[in-house]
Chain A
Amino acid sequence: MTPRIELLRFITRKLAAALPLIFGVTLISFTLTVHFGPDPAYAMLGKNPTAADVAALQRELGQDQPFWQRYASYLHRLATLDLGHTESSGEKVRDLLGRTLPVSIRLLAPGFVLGTGLALLLAMFAAWHRGGRLDRLITGISVIGMSLSFVIIIIALQAVFGVWLGWFPVRGWEVHGPASYLAHVTIPTLAFVLASIGYNTRFFRAMLVNAMSTDHVRTARAYGASPTHIMRYHVLRGCLLPITTRIVYSVPALAISGSLLLESHFSIPGIGRVTYQAILSGDQPVLMAVVGLSAVAFALTVTVADLLCRLADPRIRLA
């Protein structure tokens, strides 16, 4: 079997295995939303409804239909990407996601890339100087970063860079070109980097220190290889597997939860904010679309992570 066919079979198998996962996630979340989630009908009623009004609205929302019929209809809509309309504004859910998802990606991408890159760099310095002053300094800063509340970081950055210095907007997303993008994304990115760098640095450092204790690294040092060479070709490669896994697996969680605080505090119209509003108001079409598509995204992420691990360590078999 050629490697290409092996790879294709692997991807197909992974995606097929993801179907029960998607089915399970959607079923559980649908059940939870329908039976335990907020009831939108009572939030949508006027101030003085009658019992007949309540019943009419529940019929209009499809709440009188049997559970399995509603679930089947939901799966059908998800499969055909006909996600319906939001219960609140009536906007098409597809349009809503198409409008907000790109904003979230543009908001989070710089922080994610910078935060991960910077954490890796600091972890390398700390690991190389393990036990030294630099290591202690970086570890100390990481602990401080981990201890600080994300909200406090956001408020402090807004106050310093937005109000006091006036260099950047306090909030908003009036992006109509690269410069305005930079202006609006800088403080959220900085907040994201500061909030995430501690955890990442600590994790990466632990992995690197572990890899540096291995025999082949000691041998390379004994041969007199330069620190850069050793770090790049022997240490990083050795711990690429856990690092890649951590980075890839953090993407789906980041897309929803990571963006929520940033989008709320910086008034940015992204998907995290929309999802949060939908949770509060019980806007089921939005919630179920986000949950369903997140399940699909997670399944794809797992597949990508496995592929990357295979590339990082050829000893891992695709079978």
Chain B
Amino acid sequence: MSFARAACAAIAAMLILAACDQPGSDGRDRVVYRHAIDGMPASLDPAHAANVYSSTLVVNLYDTLFRYRYLSRPYELAPNLASGMPEVSEDGLTWTIRLRENVRFADDPAFPDNRGREVTASDVVYSLGRHFDPATRSQGAWLWRGKITGLEEWIDGGADPDRRIPGLHAADDMTVVIELTEPYPQLAHTLAMALSAIVPREAVEHYGREFGVRPVGSGPFLLKQFDETRAVLKRNLDFDRGALDLAAEGHDPQRHAELGLGSLDGEAYPFIDRLEIHFIAEPTTRWNSFVAGEVDNVMVPPEQADRVLDSHDPLRFSPEIEQRYHTLAEPEAGFVLYGFNMANEDIGHHPDEQIDSANRALRCAMRQAFDWQERNDTFYQGLGQVFPGVIPPFLDAFDPALDAGSTARDPQQARSLLQAHEWTPETLPQLTYGLEASVHQRQMFEQFRARMSAVGIPQDRLRSRSFASFGDFSRAIANRELDLFLMGWTMAWPDAQYALQLFYGPNAAPGANSFNYDNPEFDRLFERAAALEEGEERTALYRQLNEMVIDDCVHIGSLSRTRLHLWHRHVRMLPDREMLGGYFLRFVDIGAAP
């Protein structure tokens, strides 16, 4: 066969192949938004939706009673499945929540005749109650444990969904009543979390363990396909929440002018027919995919920030990037910090006052020896925001006047503290620094050790212990095996209580208080503050608690990273990853592509 004949045969074969191809989406999916995130959800069961990847999908497949307003900052709650905000009794102990009528679960074989039924108050009760069945393997039970009247007895009795929970019941088909053991103003926030999404009992029982990959909800989208690389969702035609009220969602015509959202006001949402969520962990692939137009947004990782920025301080995107894409730079709703294990008497609490005081001095010296600005410049391109304590700047309770000395490197003071308490290389304890096995974490450890070394803490006093997975790292912290560790804390609701619970005594490891900080005065004030409604008194208490943590040198920190978002010009939206985000996706619209 000549070359020409072979080439003709090859071209003919290609044409036949092309003709055989069937498109993946049906022709009615006219408006498609392709959203990229940097990780994949392990499960779509709301009881497991404790991270941003699962939440992003779950809040779009299921309904929660409340949600956050699309554009309001600071974040504000709004009714979602609930028909209004909760009615709370004067003593703050009884919450009455009424549901919207005519909201239906999606059609599914789990229901008789495959026809979804109306969502009722019993579904809310069941959805919260199933968190306490060990078979659910819930990640959210802690949100309500000890808060609801009679819950513990109900759990001890086997957490039978057919038995009534005294403090959580349906007053009628459309009204849920929650009776609390103590005021819990954060309850409304927990009911906006994906963990609290409403599931039908029929589907949970029908699919058993596989419920995590076969969601049946009443949210704005229905799942069509889900694998390790993407989820494809289609608009739920039965989802009806009326028209978008931009003003109520916090739209500011000036601040949001660039986004082009005005034309959506008064229109019924969701606006897209098909939502694709692509799980792309590799930053370079994510960027290439965005530039090639395969996905509509990208969150630029810090190491690639120079690619899109003209200036770091003040933060400014390059003109070419501004011209081609929508841009957004915002601090994360969370922070990273170093923590000490206060349960270790070599560095933490000690019954002997003198030793306790020396230990505190050692912790404070280490804090003053560390250089947060250097950490920020080395690993976060200088884009992070360093702040004292654990109340991040995006919260109302953040105190801009708080002395930032605890985050400033002061080697002289560090040496003085060590000297004053007679710490010498020989008397310093051997400390175990835990890290997940990665080049990045190892580099951070070396940077930390170098800073300690500079104030006279010998390198051999800090020993690293690496872990292959996050689970193993968490286990070591939970078992109090590490003396020093770097951790991240993502806020799930915009209230400083969520950050300060990290130091609440009863939350000690394996709970969120990984530091095992034990201060009865802190606990007393925390309990008092946590029960208060938002206001000056609560803010003052939060600030006081924050200062106690700083004074006791329980941690070294903190730093909030800055997120850089880009999205194509024809996409009308304001992306939001915070508060375990995802609600904004129902408001995304696509204009004509350039």
Among B142, B208, B210, B230, point to the contact of A49 (Cβ < 8 A). Answer: B142
Residue numbers in B under 8 Å from A180 (CB-CB): 21, 24
**Distance in Å from the Cβ of B18 to the closest Cβ of chain A?**
4
Known: A91-B213, A170-B294. A281 touches B469 (CB 8 A): yes
Question: Does B400 sit within 8 A of A, measured CB to CB?
Answer: no
**Is the pair B229, A90 in contact by a Cβ cutoff of 8 Å?**
no
User: With contacts defined as CB atoms under 8 Å apart, how many contacts are there between chain A and chain B in the complex?
Assistant: 173
Measured CB to CB, the nearest residue on chain B to A174 is B24
Measured CB to CB, the nearest residue on chain B to A84 is B209
Cβ contacts B23-34/A at 8 Å (1 or 0 each): 110000000000
Bound together, the chains give a CA A59 to CA B134 distance in angstroms of 9
**Is the pair A43, B285 in contact by a Cβ cutoff of 8 Å?**
no
Residue numbers in B under 8 Å from A172 (CB-CB): 229-230, 278, 289, 294
Bound together, the chains give a CA A265 to CA B471 distance in angstroms of 24
**Distance in Å from the Cβ of B479 to the closest Cβ of chain A?**
9
**Is the pair B280, A267 in contact by a Cβ cutoff of 8 Å?**
yes
**Distance in Å from the Cβ of B511 to the closest Cβ of chain A?**
5
Measured CB to CB, the nearest residue on chain A to B18 is A179
**Is the pair B282, A179 in contact by a Cβ cutoff of 8 Å?**
no
**Is the pair A170, B289 in contact by a Cβ cutoff of 8 Å?**
yes
**Is the pair B42, A89 in contact by a Cβ cutoff of 8 Å?**
yes
Known: A60-B137, A176-B21, A273-B228. A50 touches B511 (CB 8 A): yes
Known: A43-B471, A54-B510, A90-B213. A264 touches B281 (CB 8 A): yes
Known: A172-B229, A277-B228. A47 touches B469 (CB 8 A): no
Question: Does B6 sit within 8 A of A, measured CB to CB?
Answer: no
**Is the pair B294, A264 in contact by a Cβ cutoff of 8 Å?**
no
Question: Does B284 sit within 8 A of A, measured CB to CB?
Answer: yes
Bound together, the chains give a CA A46 to CA B49 distance in angstroms of 10
Known: A90-B43, A176-B22, A182-B17. A45 touches B210 (CB 8 A): no
**Is the pair A50, B510 in contact by a Cβ cutoff of 8 Å?**
yes
Residue numbers in A under 8 Å from B45 (CB-CB): 90
Question: Does B379 sit within 8 A of A, measured CB to CB?
Answer: no
Bound together, the chains give a CA A88 to CA B470 distance in angstroms of 14
For chain B, the bracket of interface size reads: 35 or more
Question: Within residues 278 to 293 of chain B, which ones have a CB less than 8 A from any CB in chain A?
Answer: 278-282, 284-285, 288-289, 291-292
Question: Does B118 sit within 8 A of A, measured CB to CB?
Answer: no
Residue numbers in A under 8 Å from B143 (CB-CB): 46
Among A38, A47, A89, point to the contact of B212 (Cβ < 8 A). Answer: A89
**Is the pair A47, B510 in contact by a Cβ cutoff of 8 Å?**
no
Residue numbers in B under 8 Å from A173 (CB-CB): 229
Looking at the complex, which of A22-30, A155-163, A197-205, A296-304 is the stretch in contact with chain B? A155-163
Residue numbers in A under 8 Å from B42 (CB-CB): 88-89, 281
**Distance in Å from the Cβ of A185 to the closest Cβ of chain B?**
12
Question: Does A99 sit within 8 A of B, measured CB to CB?
Answer: yes
**Is the pair B22, A177 in contact by a Cβ cutoff of 8 Å?**
yes
Bound together, the chains give a CA A170 to CA B21 distance in angstroms of 19
Question: Does A211 sit within 8 A of B, measured CB to CB?
Answer: no
Question: Does B447 sit within 8 A of A, measured CB to CB?
Answer: no
**Distance in Å from the Cβ of B513 to the closest Cβ of chain A?**
8
Bound together, the chains give a CA A134 to CA B395 distance in angstroms of 69
Question: Does A40 sit within 8 A of B, measured CB to CB?
Answer: yes
Residue numbers in B under 8 Å from A159 (CB-CB): 288
Known: A178-B21, A267-B278. A48 touches B507 (CB 8 A): yes
**Is the pair A43, B469 in contact by a Cβ cutoff of 8 Å?**
yes
Question: Does A237 sit within 8 A of B, measured CB to CB?
Answer: no
**Distance in Å from the Cβ of A106 to the closest Cβ of chain B?**
14
Known: A39-B472, A158-B285, A166-B292. A179 touches B212 (CB 8 A): no
Among B138, B284, B469, B471, point to the contact of A155 (Cβ < 8 A). Answer: B284
Measured CB to CB, the nearest residue on chain A to B490 is A47
Question: Does A56 sit within 8 A of B, measured CB to CB?
Answer: yes
Question: Does A234 sit within 8 A of B, measured CB to CB?
Answer: no
**Distance in Å from the Cβ of A29 to the closest Cβ of chain B?**
15
**Is the pair A44, B229 in contact by a Cβ cutoff of 8 Å?**
no
Question: Does A244 sit within 8 A of B, measured CB to CB?
Answer: no
**Distance in Å from the Cβ of A277 to the closest Cβ of chain B?**
7
**Distance in Å from the Cβ of B157 to the closest Cβ of chain A?**
15
Cβ contacts B1-38/A at 8 Å (1 or 0 each): 00000000000001001101111100000000000000
Bound together, the chains give a CA A177 to CA B18 distance in angstroms of 8
**Is the pair B211, A170 in contact by a Cβ cutoff of 8 Å?**
no
Bound together, the chains give a CA A172 to CA B512 distance in angstroms of 38
Question: Does B478 sit within 8 A of A, measured CB to CB?
Answer: yes
Question: Does B475 sit within 8 A of A, measured CB to CB?
Answer: yes
**Is the pair A90, B212 in contact by a Cβ cutoff of 8 Å?**
yes
Question: Does B373 sit within 8 A of A, measured CB to CB?
Answer: no
Cβ contacts B223-234/A at 8 Å (1 or 0 each): 000011110000
Bound together, the chains give a CA A53 to CA B474 distance in angstroms of 14
Known: A53-B141, A178-B17. A89 touches B44 (CB 8 A): yes
Question: Does A222 sit within 8 A of B, measured CB to CB?
Answer: no
Question: Does A100 sit within 8 A of B, measured CB to CB?
Answer: yes
Residue numbers in A under 8 Å from B229 (CB-CB): 172-173, 267-269, 273
Question: Does A305 sit within 8 A of B, measured CB to CB?
Answer: no
Question: Does B501 sit within 8 A of A, measured CB to CB?
Answer: yes
Cβ contacts A11-42/B at 8 Å (1 or 0 each): 00000000000000000000000000111111
Residue numbers in B under 8 Å from A40 (CB-CB): 471
Question: Does A85 sit within 8 A of B, measured CB to CB?
Answer: yes
**Distance in Å from the Cβ of A102 to the closest Cβ of chain B?**
12
Bound together, the chains give a CA A135 to CA B464 distance in angstroms of 50
Question: Does A171 sit within 8 A of B, measured CB to CB?
Answer: yes
**Is the pair B288, A158 in contact by a Cβ cutoff of 8 Å?**
yes
Question: Does A70 sit within 8 A of B, measured CB to CB?
Answer: no
Cβ contacts A137-176/B at 8 Å (1 or 0 each): 0000000000000000001001100110010011111101
Residue numbers in A under 8 Å from B486 (CB-CB): none
**Is the pair B469, A280 in contact by a Cβ cutoff of 8 Å?**
yes
Question: Does B439 sit within 8 A of A, measured CB to CB?
Answer: no
Bound together, the chains give a CA A96 to CA B279 distance in angstroms of 18
With contacts A56-B134, A89-B212 known, what are 16 further pairs, Cβ within 8 A?
Answer: A42-B474, A42-B478, A45-B510, A47-B142, A53-B141, A53-B142, A89-B213, A158-B285, A163-B291, A163-B292, A169-B294, A173-B229, A177-B17, A179-B21, A182-B17, A267-B285
- List, sorted by A's number, 5 A–B pairs whose CB atoms are closer than 8 Å: A44-B139, A45-B510, A50-B142, A170-B288, A269-B228
Counting from the closest, the 7 A-B pairs by CB-CB distance are: A177-B21, A43-B471, A38-B469, A178-B17, A46-B139, A88-B42, A90-B212
